[in-house]
Amino acid sequence: NISFLASDDLKGRGTSSPEEKQSADYIALGFKSLGLKPFNNSYLKSFSYKKSLNPHDSSTKDLKEKFSQNVVGFLDNGSPYTIVVGAHYDHLGLGFDHNSLDPNPENKIHNGADDNASGTSALIEIARRLKSGSDTHNNYLIMAFSGEEKGLLGSNYFIKHPTFDKKKMNYMINMDMIGRLDAQKGIIVSGWCTSKVWGKLIPDLAKRQNLKYTVDSSGVGASDHTSFYLKNIPVVQFFTGGHG
């Protein structure tokens, strides 16, 4: 999955690009093959946003409506509560939005193997294990978000235009850049203080797996868990650190 999503053929999965749509179709097919239900009759959930035609102009006078899609599968176990598991699948495309670390990014493929083909591939693997496992105590919304690189567009749209009762969302797990785990540094766990439960559960789980970790108490950060936390949903994000 990482090899496909990060391939040159997908040209960096820029938001609203044909290649990002190809990625969405690929993820949706993966969800279907695992036996996840389409959420409200469709895996692909389109949303619109407005983007300036002039990337150097931050005003709102010259805006063009664009479209993208989240990919959502549902594992329905008949539970009153649902856990959201998410990761963004978009990346920087060909570098024309100037979010790149490259000083001259334009027309260069930003493959995004770690950001965030790693999290998206984990999302698919978690869905596979949940579907074949014995955990039937919760329902699961498995969500691949678009537009994260442009400002959490997909997750923000989903939570602000609910087609699911937010009161039934137990919590949200987010994975963004988890592909470079350094055993000495460990994993960064964000959202620690958004639920008292994390401090009771995670230390023992980490100890069992001999996994070092550091914590970030805030539920607000530069990834999609923020959209859910701002609607009072407990969150936890996993992250293995930035790199060039």
The DSSP annotation for the chain comes to -HHHHTSGGGTT-BTTSHHHHHHHHHHHHHHHHHTPEEBTTBSEEEEEEEEESSTT--SSSSEEEEEEEEEEEEE--S-S-EEEEEEE--B-TTSTTS-SSSSS-TT-----IIIIIIHHHHHHHHHHHHHHSS--SSEEEEEEES-GGGTSHHHHHHHHS-SS-GGGEEEEEEE-S-S--BTTTBEEEE-GGG-HHHHHHHHHHHHHTT--EEEE--S-SSSTHHHHHTTT--EEEEE-----
89-127: pLDDT as tens digits: 999 999 998 889 899 999 999 999 999 999 999 999 999
Q: Give the N- to C-terminal CA distance of the chain in Å, as an integer.
A: 22
Question: What is residue 62's predicted lDDT score, i.e. its pLDDT?
Answer: 64
The pLDDT of residue 28 is above 60:
yes
Please compute the mean of the pLDDT values over residues 135-159 and round it to a whole number. Answer: 95
Amino acid 61 reads K
Q: What rounded mean pLDDT belongs to the chain?
A: 94
Cα distances (angstroms) measured from residue 185 to each of 182, 212, 215, 219, 239: 5, 7, 12, 21, 11
Residue 22's pLDDT is 98
**Angstrom distances, CA of residue 174 to CA of 41, 147, 183, 243:** 24, 15, 20, 19
Q: Is the confidence at residue 140, as pLDDT, over 80?
A: yes
Quickly tell me which residue has 């008949």 as its tokens: 78
Cα(72)–Cα(184) distance, rounded to whole angstroms?
35
Task: Grade residue 146 by pLDDT with cuts at 50, 70 and 90.
Answer: very high
Confidence of residue 134 (pLDDT cuts 50, 70, 90): confident
Nearby residues of 146 by Cβ (< 8 Å), 6 or more positions away = 15, 16, 20, 24, 47, 68, 69, 70, 88, 89, 90, 153, 154
